[in-house]
């Protein structure tokens, strides 16, 4: 079956604009994660969704970042008033249940000019 | 807070030679440790996890709590092992993975 998909694959935006990134997890996967990878750095945890439980938002770097997930389906990560330091690859991952192996998407490469 | 350190950004090894990618962590509790790999033009994927105690593609990793290390080893490197390798830690009761900055392994033919 299809793996985790993300769109767009690349996004170039101007500083101050809002962007929305989309993640389609593997069907049936209850857990969904967003990570950010800046150039030359490791993956930074952003947010975690598990079923209908309240999400773990502890990794969101500022209130400009927000994410939603409807049930166990698609998730969107929104960055408002983008800054140049937001430039990174944003990775989405899903797993069948908490504690299971993560399946990563291809990422969205965001460039803020 | 937990931290994962991979001291080598780049590592080059000749084909057939042993490989060791270093990973050290700091965490006061009982961690769960992982190695993830990203081959060229492919997605990040799980290579192995310490609780499985398995060998994948000839790679093994042993959790050393005394040295707080989880080094990845392979006795004889192969060209297809060239990739980016990330060590990751999951704290007990917490679902988020903390990743190291990664090591780019290049196998020289």
- pLDDT number for residue B74: 96
Verify whether the Cβ–Cβ distance B95 to A31 is below 8 Å.
yes
Average pLDDT, chain A: 93
- Three-state secondary structure of A52-106: CCCCECCCCCCCCEEEEECCCCCEEEEECCCCHHHCEEEEEEEECCCCCCCEECC
Interface of B with A in 17-76 (CB under 8 A): 43-46, 49
Task: Pick the residue from chain A with its C-alpha nearest to B92.
Answer: A99
Could you tell me how many CB contacts below 8 A there are between chain A and chain B?
Answer: 47
- pLDDT number for residue A99: 73
Verify whether the Cβ–Cβ distance A33 to B99 is below 8 Å.
no
For the residues B69-97, what does the mean pLDDT come to? 92
Q: Which residue in B45, B93, B99 has the most chain A C-beta atoms within 10 A of its own C-beta, making it the best mutation to test that interface? A: B99
Average pLDDT, chain B: 92
Q: Is B96 on the interface with A (CB under 8 A)?
A: yes
Listed in sequence order, the residues at least 6 apart from B34 whose beta carbon sits closer than 8 Å to its beta carbon are B46, B47, B48, B49, B50, B87, B88, B89, B90, B97
Q: What percent of chain B has pLDDT over 90?
A: 75
Q: Rounded to an integer, what distance in angstroms lies between the CA atom of residue A22 and that of residue B61?
A: 35
Q: Measure in Å the smallest separation between the Cα of B94 and chain A Cα atoms.
A: 9
For the residues A55-72, what does the mean pLDDT come to? 92
For the residues A63-79, what does the mean pLDDT come to? 93
Q: Is B100 on the interface with A (CB under 8 A)?
A: yes
Residue A1 in this model has a pLDDT that exceeds 70: no
Q: Measure in Å the smallest separation between the Cα of A98 and chain B Cα atoms.
A: 7
Verify whether the Cβ–Cβ distance B97 to A102 is below 8 Å.
yes
Task: Pick the residue from chain A with its C-alpha nearest to B96.
Answer: A45
- pLDDT number for residue B29: 85
Residue B102's nearest CA partner among B36, B58, B14, B13 is B36
- Residues A23-62 have pLDDT tens digits of 999 998 999 999 999 988 889 999 999 888 899 999 999 9
- pLDDT number for residue B103: 96
- Residues B40-68 have pLDDT tens digits of 999 999 999 988 878 889 999 989 989 99
- pLDDT number for residue B50: 86
Q: Measure in Å the smallest separation between the Cα of A91 and chain B Cα atoms.
A: 9
């Amino acid at each position: 079956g299809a793996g985790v998909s993300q769109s767009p694959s690349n996004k170039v935006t101007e500083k101050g604009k809002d962007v929305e990134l989309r993640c389609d997890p593997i069907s049936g996967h209850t857990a969904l994660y967003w990570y950010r990878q800046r150039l030359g750095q490791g993956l930074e945890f952003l947010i975690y969704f598990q079923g209908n439980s309240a999400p773990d938002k502890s990794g969101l770097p500022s209130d400009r970042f927000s994410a939603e997930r409807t049930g166990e389906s698609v998730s969107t990560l929104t960055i408002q008033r983008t800054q140049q330091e937001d430039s990174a690859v944003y990775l989405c991952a899903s797993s069948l249940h908490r504690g299971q192996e993560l399946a990563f998407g291809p990422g969205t490469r965001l460039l803020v000019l | 807070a937990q931290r994962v350190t991979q001291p080598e950004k780049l590592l080059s090894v000749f084909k057939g030679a042993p490989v060791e990618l270093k990973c050290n962590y700091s965490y006061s509790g009982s961690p769960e440790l992982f190695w993830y790999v990203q081959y060229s033009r492919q997605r990040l994927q799980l290579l192995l996890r310490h609780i499985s105690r398995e060998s994948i593609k000839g790679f093994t990793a042993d959790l050393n709590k005394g040295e707080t290390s989880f080094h990845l080893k392979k006795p004889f490197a192969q060209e297809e092992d060239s990739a980016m390798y990330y060590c990751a830690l999951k704290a007990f009761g917490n679902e988020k993975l903390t990743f190291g900055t990664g090591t780019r392994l290049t196998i020289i033919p």
